[in-house]
Structure 1
């Protein structure tokens, strides 16, 4: 009986200890910063994850979403690292655009080690699209027009010059046979939503973005997707009709990871909470439905593994940027 009582006490102690760890940090007035204007991929990341967190009761009140545009994410990065670097209630939407800017030194004085990398919530494949009423219907047609008259086609994207939306265009242009990719015109805007608005207004002729920020404009009848930058067509009735660049003879692929970073001096308890919370969200049926409806593909990396993943992305982007002349 004594052994049984001792075992029961040990089990109770372990349970209490686990519970103590579980409630070591309780978030209050949570906030997600989207480093761009409403309508783009970072805004999508904050709003969709924030809603799912609340729906799953992982946070006790709705998450505030703050749009902090500027510098291709640089304004938000500087704000967090200089003014909010110990905020335990804050996470920031990030993506391949973030690692690209860090790789190219586009955030003055910034490095990946100034923040804590939390986790990913999926991969968002790149797309190249035109306005619905455009007379261009395929990706080879678009790049043939660029070859014949580079000044006649401007691409718009939600990242800065040299950013991920720009790099995707250059990769595809290079694969289409354009030798001097620096002749390809690209216009940067603060977020994919603004870039699409400029396209629809006739100020640019093509759009480079990601499937999640494009789908709503396709559904509304405003955009025509020329190519998805994936190895094969995306699954699901919503995406199966979108051709890939590969099937059109242009061997260009590009997946934009989506996830979060947190302030660099966030406590370990808070960091562990956010890593586990984002992981729980990612694994939920609710998030699987969001992924299915928005063309997100699986990418599950959290905590230390995610940090290593981002570090490799930065190193690979540095190499690519040098290859195409963006970095010396």
Structure 2
């Protein structure tokens, strides 16, 4: 399997989770190796799959909603979601809005009030640059506060881990991050307070006590789908074999155990349901890209 970010990131989480489930369910004799292919939040791995190894049915490539967001903005060059075969969604993560535990904001409404009063005085930290998932969460939060996203200060980091370190060190005031990653850092003692999860319902696990943005009167949701794909040129027999393997793995008890360990929510999907979900997300992301002037 291929991941496009460093160990501990979202793509690595997807690969390690699926490798564990495939091995535990007996679908693979040994644990599948994970290969690191950095570049453009999945862009390089996507391009290599499409152009250099279009018929390689041995490699599963990790994707997330961040990959789809970049595709929608044209950041993957001439390629679109139709250039690969989406095999399976293995789990769902969600966005979060967090601050330092000693910050004056005790709720999302208090943070929104501060944004309205002085948007340029609050610095957001997040993984990725302008147009990334984390940037989009911050921009949508600014919109919810009734201020322009251009008036909000945004510091980009290589990943969510670096952004969390900056928040812990008070170099930024707000983090627009991912629930699973933030939960892991909280479990390790990070000085962070999560103000809201951007999910339709409260999450299980470490963040179970955190209210959703919707509960707090802010219609802001950010689901993060995590899964795997192969190139569109992979022979149909190989695609079908993977689908059968993944379908068996998806019903094994190991999946629920590994999702809980990873801090992800159940969201296993394959075939037409997954394709419909991706099509819906792409439509929404293209709409956002147009609204925020991000199309290339």
TM over 0.5: yes
Structure 2 equivalent of residue 230 of structure 1? 199
**Counterpart Cα distance in 2 of 1:251 and 1:139:** 12
Contact 1:97 1:159 in 2 (8 A): no
- Equivalents in 1 of 2:166, 2:114: separation in Å? 20
Instruction: Give 1:318 deviation, angstroms.
Output: 0.7
**2:97 aligned counterpart, secondary structure:** strand
Matches of 2:129 and 2:241, distance apart in 1: 32
Task: For 2:292 and 2:217, locate their aligned partners in 1 and report how far apart those are by CA, in whole Å.
Answer: 21
1:322 lines up with 2:261 in the alignment = no
**TM-score, normalisation: structure 2:** 0.90
1:262 aligns to what SS in structure 2? strand
Deviates more, 1:195-204 or 1:245-254: 195-204
Mind listing any 5+ residue stretches in structure 2 that lack a counterpart? Answer: none
Q: Which residue of 2 aligns with 1:240?
A: 208
**Equivalence for 2:265:** 297
Q: Find the counterpart in structure 2 of residue 193 from structure 1.
A: 161
Instruction: Please name the residue that 1:7 is paired with.
Output: none
TM-score by length of 1: 0.82
1:154 match:
123
Partner residue of 1:79? 48
The residue that corresponds to 2:240 in the other structure is 272
Q: Is the counterpart of residue 307 in structure 1 residue 269 in structure 2? A: no
Q: Rg bigger for which structure?
A: 1
Q: Trace 1:1-328 onto structure 2 (pairs within 5 A).
A: 32-178=1-147, 180-222=148-190, 223-236=192-205, 238-327=206-295
Count of paired positions: 295
Distance 1:160 1:262 in 2: 26
C-alpha offsets along residues 265-313 of structure 1, whole Å, 9 cap, x if unaligned? Answer: 2222221222232333232211112223444333232134323321232
C-alpha change, 1:60 and 1:321, in structure 2 (3 Å) is same
Is the CA contact 1:129–1:225 (under 8 Å) kept in the aligned structure 2?
Answer: yes
- Check the 8 A contact 1:100/1:314 in 2, yes or no: yes
Q: CA deviation at 1:118?
A: 0.7
Output the CA distance in 2 between the equivalents of 1:306 and 1:143: 35
Name the Cα RMSD after superposition.
2.2
Per-residue CA distance 1:57-84 (angstroms, 9 max, x = gap)? 2112212122322212212222222222
Query: Is the 1:153–1:205 Cα contact (8 Å) retained in structure 2?
Result: yes
In 1, Cα distance between the equivalents of 2:33 and 2:21?
13
Is the 1:40–1:158 contact (alpha carbons within 8 Å) kept by the matching residues of 2? no
SS at match of 1:215: helix
